[in-house]
Every structure is written in structure tokens, then in C-alpha cells.
Amino acid sequence: MKRYSLAIHGGAGTILPSEMDAQKELNYTGALKEALAGGQEILASGGSSLDAVETAVRILEDCPLFNAGRGSVFNAAGKHEMEASIMDGATLAAGAVSGISLIKNPVSLARKVKDNSDFVYMSGLGAMDFAREQKVKLMDDAYFFDEYRHAQWLAVKDSSLARLDHSLLKEKKFGTVGAVAFDSQGNLAAATSTGGLTNKKYGRIGDSPIIGAGNYANNATCAVSCTGYGEYFIRGVVAYDVSALMEYKNLSLEEASRYVIKEKMVKLGGEGGLIAIDRQGKISIQFNSEGMYRAWVSADDDPVVKIFL
Ligand code: ASP
């Protein structure tokens, strides 16, 4: 049997059983299962971790339940400004995009930046020019319109508040999506995609497209994808911090990721979590919020899907 493991997330935050009815829970677990199965199919047939994370994230981007791709939140101008990144642990090659709109699958544009350009990170109009050159799939505005996201935006649009992906004040939810994988060749990869914060302005960029902050992969250590209040994850250089603790301090993945999320992030005041895989294919999932949409599978173990603590 081919060795592999895969973990995905659909965001962390104040996700409580009391706020989730049975149907809603079923919708979320169904979407997570589908994305996990998409990535698993690639890994089980000997495909690469890079293809697996891109495929899993594409499926999550196509699902309006998550704040990425189709379900992206509205910015202060009432538009969608998406961002994504992908990294190959074997070569440390990476691609990232931000300030893009109308792109069906931002993670695949990030992959094209990595594969087909001399650059790592493209933004705004330039990234859109590149997208057209690369013939990535564009959709019209209506595809990204979601009644629930629109109501979230209407509630804050006349204020200076930039909100995390939530509707009620007590419900804080980060709907960013991500995937990390370990393949039969022993290669690691990570991908992350988001619509960012509701009502964000001034071209605000979060941690998701920033290599080392919200996303990182290195065959020598681990692959990491984060979700949470991006400003804290940028300041904490979270994804790279986990890798650095393993590389320079010989911590295990579990020790490093737990320390970064449960101690360092808490001290800094940052809320959120991460999914990670090490070079033996071991998975660690950590969060300091009430819940996190997450799922994982390996060659030896059946898929697991979880939402609450
Ligand atoms: N990390 C994302 C950001 O700050 C938000 C999220 O995880 O949902 O843009």
C-alpha cells in the first residue's frame, strides 16, 4: 500500500454546537468529506502532494460555505478580493496571489505563478493580467454572490470595522480553507486560500498568501496551513515558526505546532489554528478557538471529519 496522509481545514473560530443545526452540520461535514476524498484519490493512486492540496482546496473554493473562491466575503467596496498560496516542500518553490477577483480557483492561479513564472507573489491588476495570459477560469460577479455573505457585509459596511467571517457578534469564524499533504514519494506540500476579512479595505492582505505566515512546506520539516486573525499570524510568522522549531530545536511536529498555537499565539492575542504534516506523514491539528472545520485521512486510517473541540 502507498503511504500518504492528508489534512484539510475550512477555517477556525467560535463555532459552537449551539449555533449549528443538524442540516448545517451535515452540509459542512459533507463538503469537507468531498474535498478530502478529492485529495485522497490523488495520493492513493501515487499522485503528488502538490496536486492533492491543489485539488482539495479547489473543491473547498467551489463550495459557497467557506470563505474562499465562490464563498468569499465582501470587502468595503462590496467586491470580492481573494488571495491564495501554494508551496512545494521538495523544492521550496512557491506561488502566491492577492487582490484578485472573478478567478474561480485562486489556488490554481497561485500554482501557475509557481510553475509558469519567475516570480513567487503577484497582486492586483498584474496578477489579473497573468491570469488572463494563463487562461485560468474567470466567472462573473453573480457566481460569487451569496445572500449570507452579503448580509454580513451590509451589517458593517457603513462602519470602519473589518470583520472576520461571522454574522453575529458572538460568532467569530474564520472561513479560510487549506490543505497539507504527504505523498508516496515522501514529498510535502501546503495550500491556503481565502476571501479575507468582511469589509476589509486599503488593499488589506492577510496571512494566507504570505509564505511563512499562513502557508509553508519544507520536506526537511513539515507542511503547514493556517487560519485565524491574519494580522497575528503575519506578526508571528506562524507557519515558518513551526518549521523552524523542528529544524533548529528538534521539536516534534506536535510539540512545535502546539507551542506556537496554544502558547505563542495566545500570548500575542491571536485566535485561530493550523493543520500540519511532518516528513513521516504524521498529522497535527491545533487551534486555540472553540472550533475548526477540519478533516484528515492517511493510508492506514479512515477519514475523520470534525468541527467542534
Ligand atoms: N487568515 C485569514 C485572514 O486574516 C482569515 C481566515 O483565516 O479566515 O485573511
pLDDT in tens, 133-167: 999 999 999 999 888 888 878 888 877 676 655 43
CATH number at residue 101: 3.60.20.30
Indicate the burial class of 250 (C-beta count within 10 angstroms; 0-12, 13-18, 19 or more).
exposed
The string of pLDDT tens digits covering residues 251-302 is: 999 999 999 999 999 999 999 999 999 999 999 999 999 999 999 999 999 9
Residue 11 near ligand 1, beta carbon < 6 Å: yes
At 174 the pLDDT is 74
**How confident is the model over 103-129, as a mean pLDDT?**
98
Is 198 or 234 the better-scoring residue by pLDDT? 234
Least Cα distance to 182 among 34, 35, 39, 295 occurs for: 39
**How confident is the model over 77-91, as a mean pLDDT?**
96
| Probe residue for ligand 1, chosen from 176, 238, 287 as the CB with the greatest number of ligand atoms within 8 Å | 176
Scored b (16 or more CB within 10 A) or e, 177-211 reads bbbbbbbbeebbbbbbbbbbbbbbeeebbbbbbbb
Three-state DSSP at 71 gives helix
Confidence of residue 122 (pLDDT cuts 50, 70, 90): very high
The string of pLDDT tens digits covering residues 86-109 is: 999 999 999 999 999 999 999 999
| Total domains, the chain | 1
Confidence of residue 172 (pLDDT cuts 50, 70, 90): low
Residue 105 near ligand 1, beta carbon < 6 Å: no
At 166 the pLDDT is 42
Q: Which domain holds residue 144?
A: 5-308
Three-state DSSP at 308 gives strand
Contact between 103 and 131 (Cβ < 8 Å): yes
Residue 176 near ligand 1, beta carbon < 6 Å: yes
Compute, in angstroms, the gap from residue 230 CA to the centroid of ligand 1.
5
Residues noted as catalytic: 176
Compute, in angstroms, the gap from residue 59 CA to the centroid of ligand 1.
18
At 147 the pLDDT is 84
Residue 227 near ligand 1, beta carbon < 6 Å: yes
| Ligand 1 nearest atom to the CA of residue 67, by list position | 8
Rounded-to-integer distance, Cα 158 and Cα 199, Å = 9
For the chain, percent of residues with pLDDT exceeding 70: 95
Cell of 169: 457578534
Residue 192 near ligand 1, beta carbon < 6 Å: no
| Probe residue for ligand 1, chosen from 9, 194, 232, 233 as the CB with the greatest number of ligand atoms within 8 Å | 194
Compute, in angstroms, the gap from residue 278 CA to the centroid of ligand 1.
23
Rounded-to-integer distance, Cα 240 and Cα 237, Å = 6
Confidence of residue 173 (pLDDT cuts 50, 70, 90): low
Average pLDDT over the chain, rounded to an integer? 94
**How confident is the model over 236-255, as a mean pLDDT?**
98
